[in-house]
Amino acid sequence: MNADTNLGLQARQKIRAGQAPGPTAGLARGNVQANLVILPAEHAADFHRFCQGNPKPCPVLAISQPGSPALPTLGQDIDLRTDLPRYRVWVDGKLVDEPTEISALWRDDLVAFAIGCSFSFEEALIEDGLELRHQTEQCNVSMYRTSIPAASAGPFQGPLVVSMRPFNGADAIRAVQITSRFPAVHGAPVHLGDPSRIGIADISKPDYGDAVSIRDGEMPVFWACGVPPQAALQAAKLPLVITHAPGCMLVTDLRNSTLSTF
């Protein structure tokens, strides 16, 4: 792919030049966007094991060489220090800064994880003609803590957190089919129907994001979401963790369709 036609590279160059302050939704439309987690190498093996044990909430798309801010399998000339519009810096589990670049914080022992996010499968659902209620109602997707524990690894643990999208029966079936093709971005739902079965007491009160309306004849459909790795990192109180800021993702060169397994 040359630079003239590489939408991902163009988006990152714009971000790097300070011309795209985020959120990244809508940039390089059709390209995979990823959550970013950067942490010291001494904790990277545990975190990787946490992801491996929880592939639905934590689908790893790529891991950097220690000290390298590049992710060559995800895009040309990626510089993780400058190519996201905004970052979050966590010290001992506390949010201490939200800078627009992290060059001054970079160290030789930092390891970066790019983790799949639901943008990719949401694009496939929309392409298929399904309605995403949180888009119709112009708010954030509803997210809930569940009673299902994530597999723990070293200091990393916590409950599974799910995002919820309401559908009628036929659309729920179609949504299962479509998202099953995308294991690298949370994949198939983990539950549908009665929220109490996974420990959700009140569907109208999400733990994260916004409540959306569930219409007559619809049921809630639940997918693993990317909150658990974030929450586990916070709870582990590491001396330094850097993540993307909400909505300010890593824009890659990969097309969403390339993540489809069939």
Is 191 among the residues that bind a copy of itself (CB under 8 A)? yes
Q: Which of these ranges, 10-18, 28-36, 125-133, 193-201, lies near a copy of itself under the rule CB under 8 A? A: 193-201
Is 177 among the residues that bind a copy of itself (CB under 8 A)? yes
Residue span 121-160 as binding mask against a copy of itself, x where in contact by CB under 8 A, dash where not: ----------------------------------------
Q: Cβ 222 to a copy of itself, closest distance in Å?
A: 8
Q: Pick between residue 111 and residue 188 the one whose CB is nearest to a copy of itself.
A: 188
Among 135, 219, 234, 257, binds a copy of itself (CB under 8 A): 219
Crossing angle between the packed helical segments 227-236 and 41-53, to the nearest 10 degrees: 140
CB 15 within 8 A of CB 85: yes
Is 217 among the residues that bind a copy of itself (CB under 8 A)? yes
Expressed in angstroms, the distance from the first to the final Cα of the chain is 24
* Residue type for position 55: P
Is 213 among the residues that bind a copy of itself (CB under 8 A)? no
CB 110 within 8 A of CB 132: no
Counting every residue written for the chain, the total comes to 262
Q: How would you class 103 by CB atoms within 10 Å of its CB: exposed for 0-12, middle for 13-18, buried for 19 or more? A: exposed
* Residue type for position 87: Y
Is 184 among the residues that bind a copy of itself (CB under 8 A)? no
* Cα–Cα distance list, 99 to 69, 96, 248 (Å): 16, 10, 12
**Interface ranges with a copy of itself (CB under 8 A):** 168-170, 172-173, 176-177, 180, 188-194, 197-198, 217, 219, 222, 262
